[in-house]
Copies of this chain bind each other. A is one copy, B any other.
Amino acid sequence: MTEELREAGGRIRLYVTADLGEGVAVPLADGQAHYLLHVMRAKPGMRLRLFNGRDGEWTAQIATAAKRGVAVTVLARTAPQDRLADIWLCFAPVKKTPADYLAQKATELGVTRLQPVFTRRTIVTRVNEERLAANAVEAAEQSGRLSVPEIAAPVTLEKLLASWPEGRTLYFCDEGGDARPLAAVANPSAAAILTGPEGGFDPGERELIRTQKFTVPVTLGPRILRADTAALAALAVWQSAVGDGR
């Protein structure tokens, strides 16, 4: 084990589901084992960091590295678990590459739940939740997050609104007349950003959204943003105004 290899391992962060604590042995999932063996050329003794969304961040060391599996031993905690500012992204599903991108970027920007929402003009008919999750996990590992966003099962817009939780503000990215700049109306309570499909919400949907008492219509400026641009811009501005970007 050269110093260089140890150093290379020190930059690896992996999300695991197992409990983490000093001396605990953690078996890695097949995909992670493959990545460590074949991409990072892992060997016993190599260090890495682990998080599970509950126990903070820990250093660990590879105990066994073989084709039949990779196991690591947890060493010491390097950071306590944090609690992210509570912001969901409710978005009409988009095609494969834009969906990958959206899940990655939203995770980097601290989203706590990715909620696909079917609307009348949504063209995509199926959401690949596993793929969303894989993108979110990878982005969480690379961005230094101590948790991964929840991937919620897709729902219709009507159902989303009908079961809206008490106390959560829904920022509706809309270009309607009375929408105000997000930074001017953002409040630090639990939040959600809602963006529509490429063709926008239909008039009935807009009316339904705007008449909910938890809805705050917001604008992100004078230009027409693509749905995914609007989602990322809104997350960035919200974090900057009332989240952990302050």
**Which residue numbers of A lie inside 8 Å of B, CB to CB?**
97, 101, 104-105, 108-110, 142-145, 181-184, 219-226, 229, 232-234, 236-237, 239-241, 243-246
In the docked arrangement, what's the CA distance between A244 and B220, Å?
9
List, in ascending order, chain B residues with CB within 8 A of A229's CB.
104-105, 108-109, 232
Please determine whether B145 and A223 come into contact, CB atoms closer than 8 angstroms: yes
Copy number of this protein in the oligomer?
Answer: 2
Chain B minimum-CB-distance residue to A239: B221
A25 to chain B, nearest CB (A): 28
Measured between beta carbons, the chain B residues less than 8 angstroms from A240 are 181-183, 220-221, 237, 240-241
Q: How far is the CA of A233 from the CA of B245 in the complex (A)?
A: 11
Contact A224 B142 (CB under 8 A): yes
Given known contacts A182-B240, A183-B240, is B224 in contact with A245 (CB within 8 Å)?
no
Whether A225 pairs with B108 at a CB distance below 8 angstroms is yes
For this complex, 21 residue pairs linking A to B, each with C-beta atoms less than 8 Å apart, are A101-B101, A105-B229, A108-B226, A109-B225, A109-B233, A142-B226, A143-B225, A144-B222, A144-B223, A181-B240, A181-B246, A182-B240, A183-B183, A183-B241, A183-B246, A184-B246, A219-B245, A220-B236, A234-B236, A236-B236, A237-B245
Further contacts, 18 of them, CB under 8 A, given A142-B226, A221-B239: A105-B226, A108-B223, A108-B224, A108-B226, A109-B221, A109-B223, A109-B225, A109-B229, A142-B224, A145-B223, A181-B246, A183-B241, A220-B240, A221-B245, A232-B233, A236-B236, A237-B240, A240-B240
